Structure 1
């Protein structure tokens, strides 16, 4: 290779004048955001040369967009200015993390809300195996988790890896995480939004590839989660017969294990509907009624909604009593 060829290669690697100008503009935008100077940022974005590079990445180490910088720093005013001037709400960094994911990880609730209202995907990027919901569940940030779920985030884990890479860890979703980290408020919120109380995973194909998938109940027992977690799982319909229990002297002193054994002894739900007044209704038939609670509940003191078979009209029940 001649010296001329080498010189040509190096010349091709050098940034063009226009590219260098764009890089400088992007750096100025990032610096304004980093200093939380929304007025300067507004002035810069009033010029075409700055607006056209609003989604460009710059910076030392990991190049990032100005919107990602605003989300990471929690600079709401700058974030709103960028969104108003057309910043891409789901732009990715080199880790395939969106600005929303960054705001969730940094616990900036106001930025999370602003991004969601601007149309950010509540599930984050398809190319990142983690998600905003998993992060919020791990950190125990119930307010951020509530906003994500309110905007349609998946409550059950959606694995983002090939089938051959599936293992027991990949199906441990937000419900698992919130239990293991001891975040009861997040745990309850996830169940209220429809989290699967057994595996917290809706991918049957993945579950079949795992030799011994662990249920949420098993994980709660293994990690010594409080009795409140077990009660919530039972109330939200967890299958109490799925966990494999090894009963020894120590286990029999465990309130959670004893509660589970008691639930296993309860007969299947079949009986009569009792109204608040005490008046007995028709015999309970699972094919005619829909009840939110699990089929092994003996007495449910909470009100439930069922449907009368002849006309499908809803009515309230005070208790379900086993015959």
Structure 2
């Protein structure tokens, strides 16, 4: 962590002490990692909660392409995902999305098969279909390419994801060469015309 937070080792009592003595809650380190991002990365729930209560930005520093929510989804840290969403973290940070790297919390939770994070994100407003912002970001393709279990595909459909969205090569998710559970589900859902 940064400037006073780097040696607390997850001890929320120390974090609260530093916060009471005016430690900068959002001061990033050289890699633009805020204390909140580090607390989430290390799964220090009490520290993350104390930082949020002290006013930490739940979206992290704009200079870092990863957000605390992205990190929580990547490592399967459901408690962190819930904490950040309750604090108002954005599920799609548009200026980071337009760079299309490293990705979105919803996509990374699917890639690593963290179903509880994936479903929590959808239940809290994550968009399964972002064609209006960045047409090349297709969750249906991610689900097939990374061989996600069918329950990911079912939620994708239930929350309004479009199966007929094409990737940058012009392929539908059902056109991908992978034999994956979601591909079979999508083919069944679309019917014989596709």
The answer, yes or no, to whether TM exceeds 0.5 is yes
d(CA) in 2 for partners of 1:188, 1:220:
14
Distance in 2, matches of 1:224 and 1:122, equals: 31
Is 1:264 the counterpart of 2:193? The answer is no
Name the count of aligned residue pairs: 186
Give deviations 1:94-117, integer Å, cap 9, x for gaps: 222111111111110110111111
Q: Give the 3-state SS of the residue equivalent to 1:67 in structure 2.
A: coil
Equivalent of 2:113 in 182, 197, 217: 182
- Give the TM-score normalised by the residue count of structure 1: 0.53
2:160 and 2:113 mapped to 1: Cα distance?
21
Deviation at 1:264, TM superposition (A): 2.1
Give the strand-richer structure, 1 or 2. Answer: 1
State the TM-score, normalized to the length of structure 2.
0.86
Is contact 1:68–1:98 with CA below 8 Å preserved after alignment?
Answer: no
Structure number with bigger Rg:
1
Instruction: Assess if the C-alpha contact under 8 Å between 1:91 and 1:99 holds in 2.
Output: yes
User: Partners in 1 of 2:19 and 2:50 — Cα distance?
Assistant: 9
4+ aligned runs moved over 4 Å, structure 1: none
Call closer, same or farther: CA 1:265–1:130 in 2, change over 3 Å: same
2:144 is aligned with 1:221? yes
Q: Give, in angstroms, the shift of residue 69 of structure 1.
A: 3.0
Does residue 1:192 correspond to 2:123, yes or no?
yes
Query: Is the 1:129–1:159 contact (alpha carbons within 8 Å) kept by the matching residues of 2?
Result: no
Once the two structures are superposed, what CA deviation does each residue of 1:62-90 show, in whole Å capped at 9, x if it has no partner? x94113432xx102111111111221211
Q: Alpha carbons of 1:218 and 1:84: their partners in 2 closer, same or farther (altered >3 Å)?
A: same
Give me the whole-angstrom Cα distance separating, in 1, the residues matched to 2:158 and 2:65: 31
Question: Cα deviation per residue 1:251-280 (whole Å; 9 max; x = unaligned)?
Answer: 4xx5432321232249xxxxxxxxxxxxxx
Kept in 2, the 8 Å contact 1:180–1:223? The answer is yes
- Pick aligned residue for 1:136 from 58, 63, 72: 72
Report what 1:246 is aligned to: 175
Report the CA distance shift for 1:64/1:247 in structure 2 as closer, same or farther (over 3 A).
closer
Rounded to whole Å, the distance in 1 between the matches of 2:75 and 2:176 is: 33
Q: Is the 8 A contact 2:2 2:34 kept in 1?
A: no
Q: Which runs of 5+ in 1 are unaligned?
A: 1-62, 267-323
Post-superposition offset of 1:156: 1.5
8 Å CA contact retained: 1:89, 1:119: yes
Contact persistence 1:157–1:174 (CA under 8 A): no
Q: Which runs of 5+ in 2 are unaligned?
A: 167-171
> Highest relative contact order (Cα 8 Å, sep 6+), 1 or 2?
2
Question: Which residue number corresponds to residue 5 of structure 2?
Answer: 67
Instruction: Supply the distance in 2 between the matched residues of 1:86 and 1:107 (Cα, whole angstroms).
Output: 24
